Each structure stands twice: as structure tokens, then as C-alpha cells.
A and B are shown apart, each in its own frame.
Chain A
Amino acid sequence: MLLFGVLFVEMVCALMLDHMCKKSFNPIRPILVPLVAMVVMVSYQLIEYEVLVSAFQMYFSGAFVFLSFRLFVAGSEICEALNIWCFDIVNKRKKEKLA
């Protein structure tokens, strides 16, 4: 159920971000590939149960870490682009200059 939620949040946030950035949304989500692969392997009995359990746990952990990192990076880049802080409206952000 949580994996389902993680995958949902990833695609919805990508759709929202692409809408705001006027980019075209890519309907082929790489994060869904392991899920589809698992379904195919389970349907045609190409995978053993113990391997499936391990693969499922690794997939969930990987998807969670990927989503967290992606949200963090996207949020940071938007803050930088708009020159604002996410949780601070009192102190103004100074333009960062590359060394």
C-alpha cells in the first residue's frame, strides 16, 4: 500500500512540475518498470517466491529513497531559481555566485 503511494506521489509531482515549467510530461515512468517486470515474472512464473519478496523490499526502499531525493533536489532548484527560501519569508536569500 505504501509502495503504491510512493509511486503515485512520484508521477503526480512530476506532472505538476512539468505543468509549471511548461515541459512535456513523459508518460513512461522509469520507476514503474520494476513493478511491471515483477507482474510479468509472477504471471509467467519466472521468479521464485523468496526472490520476489527480496525484490519487492528492495524496490520499495529504492523507490522511497529515489522519491525523497527527487523531491529534495527539485525543491532546492526551484528555491534557487526563484531566489527564495522554502520555510523562511523574513530573511531574503542572497544570489549565490559560483566560485
Chain B
Amino acid sequence: MPFYIDKHAQSSLKAYEYSGTDLSLTYKYLLSPWAQFCVDHFTPLTMAPNTITFIGLLGMLASYLVMWYYCPNLDEAVDSDSSPPSDNDSIPRWIFLFNGVMMFFYQTLDNMDGKQARRTENGTPLGMLFDHGCDAINSPLGSACWACAMGIGPSSRVVMFATLTSSMIPFYTATWEEYYTGALVLPVINGPNEGILMGAALSVASFLWGASYWHTYSWNEAWLGKGIDFVVSMCPAQLAAVVPELGFKNYEILVGLGLGCAMQELILKSVSVVKSHGLLTLVNQLPFVVLLGASVKLFSTEMGERLLLQVSAKWRRTATSIHY
């Protein structure tokens, strides 16, 4: 007696056909040909597409576990007590290189599974669910690895939360849009392609220049420069007070850009779906809004903050006991 898949669901599943469009130029000219090359040259015909997806997820899990082992609190890579913040020498830098390589490995395998399914004529709705389910699991794991590579931990809760949500917002919005329109449309710049590539580049940058690189003001000085002074002078006093005196750190600019892109996708897709399917569609965004709101509210209270720090300390003790 099936629990989730009843008779009606079975017939719908059998009739289901995936409809998706990836408008990314990076995917079209770089990542897709590379994945096709790997499928044609290195993948046996007997290998199931889901196995390929699962191997990619295992790579990301391995990367996350290595990160957790060395940086259970996410911010250990940077010694923020020193001024300016410096790299913590006890954290080996190869973990960031490993993470960057694993992200590219995951992305390649994620692109390969669909091609292998078409090659072996084994495309099924299960493959689509498995592929996107693994992407969903990878989303918080990848975000945690990025936070770790930039040395963002519970001490800067707002930025840590923004790092985490910047990959989840577009993911939930795209799935929500697909639920109504029946098609998954990835824009010209999207998370699974450019997002993961940038995440891998971020980790490699931490390997090359250290995680403390993200705590410098070099981007602020090079790009924003006097422009930000001008913007601040035009803003109301309350808004101008939010801008730090020294400007923004590199990681703040990067996370801000990521969150900006995520919000832009959320707004555009929401407007498009509401126009075509009505205002009631927004009800299905409710669980995600509740999750975001409740998490922000919980960890903005004094008790919630203590809880976050205590859980972090517990992670640290567990990792340390394994370490020694």
C-alpha cells in the first residue's frame, strides 16, 4: 500500500515529461560540451544516471565534512582578534582547494546525468526528482562551505544568514515557478552554472590568498572608492549610518551581490507567476517565508543567540575530540 504515490499520482508520474530551459551562455558553450565529452569518453553505458548524481553529492558531502572537521564554527580560518584580521595558521589551506575542486566535480556530474540518461534512453521522473533533490541537499552544504572559505561564522550572524539564503531563495523560487508553469527556466546568469563556478572560484581564492583576503577592504577601495561617499552623502542620515566608516569588506560586498541577485530573481519570477496564475500562488511561498522569518526571529533574540553559540561550541568540541 503506497503512502505517497497513490493511483492518481502513479498515472501522473508515468505521463510526466520534464520541461526545462537553461539560458546560461556558460552552460551552452563551456559546461555542456565538457559534460558531453566526459559522458562520451569516461562513462560506461552500464552506469545509471542517478549513480552519477549521487557520486557528485558524495563529493560535496566529503568536502563539507572536511570543512566541518577543521572549521566546525565556520569562522576558524580567520583570526579576527588580530588587527587587521589574519589567517589562522592551524587551518590548512588545501581544504579550500578541495572544496573548489569538489564543487566543479559536482557541477560536471550534475550536468552529465541528464546526458547519460538520454544516451542510455533511461530518462525517468525519478531521475529528475533525484537530480533536483540532490541539488536541494547541496544548496545548504555549498553555502556552509562558502561561509567557511570566507571565515563568516556565528559572530556575524546577519552575513552568515545572508550567505545561506542567497542560494536557497532562487532555488525555492525556481521550484515554485515550475510547480505552476510546468517548466524550469534558468536565467542567463543562474545558480547551478555561474553560481557554483563563482563559489568554486571563491574557494580557490581562499586557497591562494587565505580566508583573511575576504576581510580586507580591497574591493571597496578599488571599485566603490569615492562613489560610496557620494551615495552616503545623498542618503538620509538613518540609512547612511548603516554604512561602516571604513566601507564594506570584500565578503560583505560579495554576499550583498549574491543576495541582490537572489532577490531580483525572486521578485521577477513572483511577478511573472502572479500575472499568469493569480495572487493565490503566493500562498505556496508561505513555508519558505515562515522558515526564513522564524529563523531570523529565533536567532535575533538573546536566548536564540546563546543557543546558536552553544550549538556552535558543541560542534567545535565534537570536531576537536575527533581531531585528537
Residues of chain A at the chain B interface (Cβ within 8 Å): 1-2, 4-5, 7-9, 11-13, 15-23, 25, 27-29, 32, 35-36, 38-39, 42-43, 45, 49, 52-53, 56, 71, 73-75, 77-82, 84-90
Contact = CB atoms under 8 A, between A and B. Distances in A.
Given A7-B291, A27-B284, A52-B303, A88 B48 contact: yes
A23 B175 contact: no
**B50, B137, B283, B291: most-surrounded residue (chain A CB, <10 A):** B291
B126 interface: yes
Contact of B136 (A13, A22, A73, A88): A13
A21 B133 contact: no
27 contacts: A1-B74, A7-B291, A11-B287, A11-B291, A12-B133, A13-B129, A16-B133, A19-B178, A20-B16, A22-B8, A27-B283, A28-B286, A38-B298, A42-B301, A43-B297, A45-B303, A49-B303, A52-B303, A75-B126, A77-B3, A78-B13, A79-B126, A84-B124, A86-B50, A86-B126, A89-B46, A89-B120
B140 A8 contact: yes
A38 B303 CA distance: 11
B12 A20 contact: yes
A98 B261 CA distance: 52
A82 B125 contact: yes
Given A18-B179, A43-B297, A71-B133, A4 B291 contact: yes
Contacts of B144: 1-2, 5
Nearest to A41: B303
Interface stretch (B100-108, B196-204, B305-313): B305-313
B4 interface: yes
Given A11-B291, A32-B287, A16 B51 contact: no
Interface of B: 2-5, 8-10, 12-14, 16, 46-51, 54, 74, 120, 122, 124-126, 128-130, 132-133, 136-137, 139-141, 144, 160, 164, 168, 171-172, 175-176, 178-179, 182, 283-284, 286-288, 290-291, 294-295, 297-298, 301, 303-304, 306-307, 310-311
A9 B137 contact: yes
B81 to A, nearest CB: 23
Contacts, number: 173
A45 to B, nearest CB: 8
A1 B4 contact: no
A66 to B, nearest CB: 13
A75 B127 CA distance: 10
A59 B14 CA distance: 36
A32 B49 CA distance: 33
Nearest to B292: A4
Contact of B125 (A18, A73, A78, A87): A78
Contacts of B137: 5, 9
A21 B54 contact: no
B291 A32 contact: yes
